[in-house]
Amino acid sequence: MSRKREKKKLVVRVPNPRAPVKERLDTPSHKVHRSKKQYSSSRNRHAASRRSCDVTLYRYDYVIVGGGMTAAAAVQGIREVDASGSIGLISAEPHPPYNRPPLSKALWKGEPESSIWRGTEAAGAKLHLDRRANGLDVATRQVKDDRGDTYAYRQLLLATGGAPRRLSFADDPIIYYRTYEDYRRLRALAAKPLRFVVVGGGFIGSEIAAALRMAGRDVEMLVPEAGLAARVFPAELSRHLVDFYGSKGVTVRTGEGVTTLVQRGAKVAITTSTGREVTTDVVVAGLGILPGVDLAQQNGLRVENGIVVDQMLRTSDANVFAAGDVANFPNAALGVRTRVEHEDAANTMGAAAGRAMAGPRTCHSSIRTCSSWATRPWVISTRGTRPWWIGRNRSARA
């Protein structure tokens, strides 16, 4: 390392005693429920932060980690019970909460983008966007984000959903389709006469392939299973869908996964599991999600196919709740634990968690509502107002 670079690094590391400390009180101090011990530990942290860098300490009655549909529903749930408690929402996405299902359906059929937003800020939540919560201390009831800011809470909701499962290629150019940013990127590419390969034949892969084809593009699907949505539908229906997609001009290669993938200039070269070589312009993947359990794990909260919660959607820490795609909850009707990746789950569970956080801990009726969708042995994926897929709800397993 050059001497100049070494020096620069040193300057960055030296604490700056004059760095300003912003303490933003988003709630009046009487609203913040903290013990003396917590205050004094907070003062220590405060002093430490003053010495080292410019960080902000926020204090909220309710902190929500996550910026998806569950988080949006939770804000509404809190407001049903508590009209004035302060709510801070931390989201890794640069946009306020929005409905995810239209990203693979309605928006491609001409629904305006303005229709997807959930109006979470108008419901009275302060949004901290484009920042990832990467630290949680349940003892002091504080969350930290990747900019070094701290959020003190009275009640916390983990609505972290899931991150797309990825293929194990370093720096791959694949669009792992999940967010509004992914939609905008793919929509811009779909406006050009490019070739698309879609990896995965589940809901997301199938919907994206259909959307791209509807946009007039050449689409090839690589589906390791024997048919489309094969893990959800009966074999006959799954095979029928392959034919149906074929009739619409989508090339569906079943029993064929990706073995290697390399960017070659503007093109992507793929070798499939059958040894076939495919060259394409864009690769999109829909391979399911992995629940976002890191913060819970860091604190020793119970994790088992998602964050384990009770009937009240409370984790193994009484002040921390979890809901939506990330939560593994007890399904009273089935007598099993379930984790459900579904918009109904996000909306009903999010709202129930919000009410439970804000009100007396007696939200049994809300949880019964959660149980009712979770017990459904079928999932319905909507395309616009019409049902599109109907199949077995495998994610609602123990």
Binding site for ligand FAD (CB under 6 A): 65-71, 90-93, 100-101, 103-104, 132-133, 159-162, 177-178, 204, 292, 324-325, 341-343, 346, 381-382
Q: Least Å distance between CB 269 and ligand FAD?
A: 27
Smallest distance from ligand FAD to CB 62, Å: 15
| Rg of the Cα atoms in the chain | 23
Nearer to ligand FAD, 21 or 129 (CB): 129
Q: CA end-to-end span of the chain, whole Å? A: 53
Residue-wise DSSP of 322-390: E-GGGEEEEETTTTEEE---SHHHHHHHHHHHHHHHHS-S--HHHHHHHHHHHT-SEEEEEETTEEEEE
| Residue closer to ligand FAD, measured from CB, 99 or 238 | 99
The DSSP letter of residue 303 is B
Shortest-Cβ-distance residue relative to ligand FAD:
161
Name the DSSP letter for residue 310: -
CA 88 vs. chain centroid, Å, equals: 17
Q: Which is nearer to ligand FAD, 62 or 177 (CB)?
A: 177
CA distance 153 to 319: 9
CB of 320 to ligand FAD, least distance (A): 14
What is the crossing angle of helices 364-374 and 343-358, to 10°?
170
- Contact assessment for residue 52 and residue 16, using Cβ atoms and an 8 Å cutoff: yes
Amino acid identity, position 256: E
Q: Which is nearer to ligand FAD, 50 or 68 (CB)?
A: 68
SS3 track for 317-336 = CCCEEECHHHEEEEECCCCE
| In the complex, minimum distance from the CB of residue 39 to ligand FAD, in angstroms, rounded to a whole number | 26
Closest distance of CB 289 from ligand FAD, Å: 7
Alpha helices in 215-317 (DSSP H): 235-247, 294-298
**Strand-strand pairing, 277-280 and 267-272:** antiparallel
Report the nearest approach of ligand FAD to the CB of residue 162 (Å): 5
Q: In whole angstroms, how close is the CB of 340 to ligand FAD at the nearest point?
A: 8
Least separation, in Å, of the C-beta of 389 and ligand FAD?
8
What is the β-pairing status of strands 125-128 and 87-90? parallel
Q: For residue 185, give the H/E element and its range.
A: helix 180-190
Q: Least separation, in Å, of the C-beta of 339 and ligand FAD?
A: 10
Measured from the CB atom, is 84 or 115 closer to ligand FAD?
A: 115
C-alpha torsion sign, points 51, 56, 62, 65: negative
Identity of the residue, 85 or 88, whose beta carbon is nearer to ligand FAD in the bound complex: 88
Contact 236, 226 (CB under 8 A): no
CB of 309 to ligand FAD, least distance (A): 13
C-beta of 79 vs 128, nearer to ligand FAD: 128
> CB of 342 within 8 A of CB of 203?
no
Place of tokens 């709202």: 351
